[in-house]
Amino acid sequence: MSGPNGHAQKDHVPVSGPPPAMLAAGVIQVSAERVKELVAALEVPFDQSQIDWRVMNTTKGQQPARGQVVPYADQRAYTDRLNALFTPAGWTRKYTIHTSANFERSKDQKIAAKVLVTCELTIFGLGSHSATGEEWADDDNSCTAAEAQSFKRACSCFGLGRYLYYFSRTWVDLDDRKRPKSVPQLAGWATPAGWLEGLRPSCAGKQKPVERTDAGNGGNGHSARANRDVLREIERMERVVGKRMYRGLLKCVAKVWNPKDIQDPAVQERVLARMQAAERGLRRAEAARDKAGLAAFAAILGSLRLSSLDQVDSLKTLQEIVAGLETKDIDPR
């Protein structure tokens, strides 16, 4: 079976798009039940054949070389899903491209600007969401990379590809070209079939068999299980809030670099609460950035000697950015 764009259709939830005449007129009436159905279809994981793995960190001076990998999908998988569910006439996207002022890059002290691309994604009947992607301007593919990042981030606001944020990084052996020799096996909840059967990641409230076993080992089973759940959720937050913020909060709140070193459950809860606050703050900063404009955003980051939100390592700095952006948004000048 082929989708409307000619590619093999891998989506497992058949949902037809609105009639072309309604699209042309710009009038789409969608019931609350229909919205729920469409969002549920967007949330279904991609087929395993559409998943690749990216190496994020590697060991130094160790043989065999090892690296941490996370799963991702090419932006074509996102467009295929949107086309299959809504038809190519049922959604649209608009890009805005800006460049920041030059900054000193922390990893190599080179002076470079950043390409900032904002994607506004509109799904007729569901609404619009926008998000921004960024890449260093001296990268030959900076615009393409920033564009793809902004589009996929906008899609995640509708639930499409959002499940990929539940993954934590996994160590694997690398070959001599820094490529994974093997990749992790996807859990059942990360496959279309498993998701449609009701499977969900543990951090979404679903119980794993190992947790049921521990619960029968005595009065401490529930407490131990709760502690593991909190630790897993903390580890997941590294990808949500970024490595700098993640490490900064671990060091500030718990005085550790690895959440597994936190023995006090109360401290674990405080760390998780701070990271959840950081997630909310980052979303607020992104929303304020879109309203205030990329020029104002770059100016505020420059005043803090930062080049992107990825470099923020404390809630205090994040609050300063949000306050500055929201002030710019209401400044009548």
Asked if residue 2 belongs to a domain, the reply is no
Measured CA to CA, the distance from residue 197 to residue 179 in angstroms comes to 33
Asked if residue 331 belongs to a domain, the reply is yes
Q: Is the confidence at residue 17, as pLDDT, over 80?
A: no
What's the pLDDT tens digit per position in 140-186?
Answer: 899 999 999 999 999 999 999 999 988 888 888 998 888 999 988 88
Residue pair 115/77 in contact by the 8 Å Cβ criterion:
no
pLDDT for res 4: 40
Say yes or no: 242 and 178 in one domain: no
Asked if residue 17 belongs to a domain, the reply is yes
Last residue of a domain, one of 162, 189, 205: 205
Q: E strands within the chain?
A: 51-58, 66-73, 91-99, 103-104, 111-112, 114-123, 127-136, 170-173
Measured CA to CA, the distance from residue 198 to residue 3 in angstroms comes to 25
Q: Is the confidence at residue 120, as pLDDT, over 70?
A: yes
Of 272, 283, 276, 273, which Cα lies nearest the Cα of 321? 283
Asked if residue 200 belongs to a domain, the reply is yes
What's the CA dihedral at 178, 183, 189, 194 to 10 degrees? 140
Name the residue type at position 210. V
Q: Is the confidence at residue 105, as pLDDT, over 80?
A: no
Asked if residue 214 belongs to a domain, the reply is yes
pLDDT for res 3: 43
What is the pLDDT averaged over residues 288-305? 87
Handedness of CA 97, 98, 102, 103 (dihedral sign): negative
CATH code of the domain in which 123 resides: 3.30.390.80
Say yes or no: 114 and 173 in one domain: yes
Residue 242: how many other CB atoms lie within 10 Å: 19
Measured CA to CA, the distance from residue 60 to residue 243 in angstroms comes to 18
Output 1 or 123, whichever has higher pLDDT: 123
What's the pLDDT tens digit per position in 300-314?
Answer: 888 888 888 888 999
Give Cα 281 to chain centroid, integer Å: 15
Say yes or no: 186 and 115 in one domain: yes
Say yes or no: 161 and 216 in one domain: no
pLDDT for res 18: 52
Last residue of a domain, one of 172, 188, 205: 205
Say yes or no: 226 and 185 in one domain: no
Say yes or no: 278 and 306 in one domain: yes
Last residue of a domain, one of 175, 205, 235: 205
Coil vs helix vs strand at 3: coil
pLDDT for res 178: 87
Say yes or no: 200 and 64 in one domain: yes
Coil vs helix vs strand at 121: strand
pLDDT for res 116: 92
Say yes or no: 150 and 168 in one domain: yes
Say yes or no: 36 and 159 in one domain: yes
When divided into structural domains, the chain yields a total of 2
Q: Is the confidence at residue 1, as pLDDT, over 50?
A: no
Asked if residue 58 belongs to a domain, the reply is yes
pLDDT for res 210: 34
Percent of the chain with pLDDT over 70: 82
Q: Is the confidence at residue 214, as pLDDT, over 90?
A: no
pLDDT for res 160: 96
pLDDT for res 123: 95
Domain hosting 31: range is 7-205
Q: Is the confidence at residue 265, as pLDDT, over 90?
A: no
Helices (H), 178-220: 192-196, 209-215
Asked if residue 298 belongs to a domain, the reply is yes
Measured CA to CA, the distance from residue 265 to residue 148 in angstroms comes to 39
What string of DSSP letters covers 282-313?
HHHHHHHHHHH-HHHHHHHHHHTT-SSGGG--
What's the pLDDT tens digit per position in 215-244?
Answer: 333 333 434 555 677 888 888 888 888 888
pLDDT for res 228: 72
Residue pair 69/184 in contact by the 8 Å Cβ criterion:
yes
Say yes or no: 248 and 167 in one domain: no
Asked if residue 323 belongs to a domain, the reply is yes
Q: Is the confidence at residue 91, as pLDDT, over 50?
A: yes
Q: Is the confidence at residue 248, as pLDDT, over 80?
A: yes
Name the residue type at position 255. K
User: CB neighbours of 238 closer than 8 A, spacing ≥ 6?
Assistant: 168, 169, 246
Output 82 or 108, whichever has higher pLDDT: 82
Say yes or no: 196 and 217 in one domain: no
Residue 104 has, within 13 A of its CA and on its CB side, a CA count of 5
pLDDT for res 83: 96
Say yes or no: 127 and 197 in one domain: yes
Q: Is the confidence at residue 25, as pLDDT, over 60?
A: no
Q: Which two tokens stand for residue 72?
A: 């991702």
Q: Is the confidence at residue 207, as pLDDT, over 60?
A: no
